[in-house]
Structure 1
């Protein structure tokens, strides 16, 4: 667990499953999806079907909860772009729109990146988003990430082509900017 005042990132627990399902799969078109890769299809699923895959959520190393003021509000995650070379990409979703615009995402992602550098032998942490998600780009820039690639007009959303944006930060850059201790 990592903590920043009333903000905590931690592994997901069984007691989080109902809230996660409500955020992610209760509706076909949840509000948060317009920011998180809306060009990929999303579909609702029943709670019972969600529970069949609960092992993909509970106590995983690659997906943690964001808890703010005692409430689950989002998740941070990572995936391997290419594990043999330790190429890792990270992500964040704040599901509850009332918690956006308060720097919670920046703080949570900062804690998560610190955790990744503290626990994995990484040289770099990357983040891929799309040019339509300007708030995410600003969060990444505020954390010291640099634009590493812009793949032009590859994300079609609402009949408009957006760019794919790849950002990243090296361990030595992160270490100069940040220090968080595991609690």
Structure 2
């Protein structure tokens, strides 16, 4: 577990499943999905299906943790590897309730998550991919010392408009310098 005052990240436990389902898969069109890769479809599912299909990919996994504030579940952080060499890691975050946005929780959470990643994995770089329509996520990445490494133009289509895919990244030595 990593903690910053009332905010904590930790591995997901079975007792988190019901709340995570309510926040992420109970609704057909949740507000958070408008910002988290909205160009990919989202489908609600019954709790039983969530327990069978999604929960096993999250619960107790090293690459999928829960975000809590005062021990209440607020969202998740995750990472995945872009290739089989496991040298190219991308991380992500989902804060599910819109009234929790723009309060600095995302920045604080990703700072803890990056600390965990650099502390536990022998990586030289951590990345984050978002889209040009998500200005808040780009700003969070910049606040964490990440640089824009790539802009793939007009590859994300949402609500009749094209957006760019944005790749941000930070090297271990930059992270260490930025966080001393």
Counterpart for residue 24 of structure 1 = 24
Counterpart for residue 49 of structure 2 = 49
Aligned-residue offset at 1:28: 1.0
Counterpart for residue 13 of structure 1 = 13
| Structure 2 residue matching 1:82: 3-state secondary structure | coil
State the distance in 1 between where 2:112 and 2:84 align. 22
- Which ranges of structure 1 fall in alignment gaps of 5 or more residues? none
State the distance in 2 between where 1:122 and 1:10 align. 20
Aligned-residue offset at 1:85: 5.1
CA displacement 1:70-113 (0-9 Å, x = unmatched):
21001100010014151000000100111111100000000000
Counterpart for residue 159 of structure 1 = 160
List aligned pairs for 1:1-183, cutoff 5 A: 1-53=1-53, 54-84=55-85, 86-178=87-179
CA displacement 1:8-42 (0-9 Å, x = unmatched):
00000111100110111111111100000000001
| Structure 2 residue matching 1:117: 3-state secondary structure | helix
CA displacement 1:98-131 (0-9 Å, x = unmatched):
1111100000000000100000000000000000
State the distance in 1 between where 2:133 and 2:93 align. 16
State the distance in 2 between where 1:108 and 1:85 align. 23
- Which ranges of structure 2 fall in alignment gaps of 5 or more residues? none
Question: For the aligned residues, what is the CA RMSD?
Answer: 0.9
Q: Tell me the matched-pair count.
A: 179
TM-score under structure 1 normalisation? Answer: 0.96
State the distance in 1 between where 2:138 and 2:60 align. 29
State the distance in 2 between where 1:62 and 1:70 align. 20
Aligned-residue offset at 1:178: 1.8
| Structure 2 residue matching 1:28: 3-state secondary structure | coil
